[in-house]
Amino acid sequence: MKIFKLFTVLLIAMLVSQQASGAITEFLPGSSHYEGHSYFNSSTLSGRIDFAVYDTDGANGDEFSNAGFGTAEGQGRYIYAYQVILESESTDIIDHFEILGIGEEALQEPLNDNISFTDDQTGEGISPEMCYIGFSETYGQLGIWEFNDDIEGGQHSWFLLLRSDQDWKPGAYTFNEAQDIQPPVPNPEPATLALFALGGGLAWLKERKRK
């Protein structure tokens, strides 16, 4: 009986979550490697950042290209894709989107060859005017997409793309100077960092078992 009650509660929670997230349509093609959403909500802006990492040389081939969106510019095995989606209730606009803290070794030279964008093929997406790799003393390398036509309530951006040989690590993003920085999104980071973290975790588990 307890198991049945627990299952019922989880099922209801899942349905409520699906209904809440279903308020905004998804456009990015599915990824078997990594995908997700990051929600934001303030008095003037509410919406979601959709993101996915596509392995162009995995068991399923290049999932991004196979979905009919071509391929990202630049070099690297992984395609990082982001999309900004604003709810219709938003009264403020988004004029740029930034991915923060890209690893210094994550993008091949020339850096700007590895950042791009592509039409989401809905006929309604807002295209960036330009994109480039920037730098800040606080966050290091930044991926920046600037919109000439601002993203307004009920609108969404084209797919914003980065290309890298490095697999993902959770990072952060921002889109307006007044907007708080929001985690998490996948950022390309040197794989060695992930290996160090994995090794430390395994050592901790081994020591815990021994005690």
CATH of the domain at 105: 2.60.40
pLDDT-derived band at 185, boundaries 50, 70, 90 = very high
Q: What is the pLDDT of residue 190?
A: 86
Q: What is the pLDDT of residue 24?
A: 54
Q: Does 116 fall in a domain?
A: yes
Q: Which domain holds residue 200?
A: 27-210
Q: Does 172 fall in a domain?
A: yes
Residue in the structure block whose two tokens are 């600037």: 146
pLDDT in tens, 24-55: 578 999 999 999 999 999 999 999 999 999 99
**Number of domains, the chain:** 1
Q: Does 5 fall in a domain?
A: no
Q: Does 72 fall in a domain?
A: yes
Dist CA 187 CA 34 (whole Å): 11
pLDDT-derived band at 21, boundaries 50, 70, 90 = very low
Q: Does 1 fall in a domain?
A: no
Strand ranges across the sheet with 46-55: 34-41, 46-55, 78-86, 159-164, 115-118
Q: Does 175 fall in a domain?
A: yes
Q: Does 19 fall in a domain?
A: no
Q: What is the pLDDT of residue 179?
A: 77
Backbone angles phi, psi at 16, to 5 degrees: -65, -40
Q: Does 49 fall in a domain?
A: yes
Q: What is the pLDDT of residue 120?
A: 96
Choice between 206 and 34, residue whose per-residue pLDDT is larger: 34
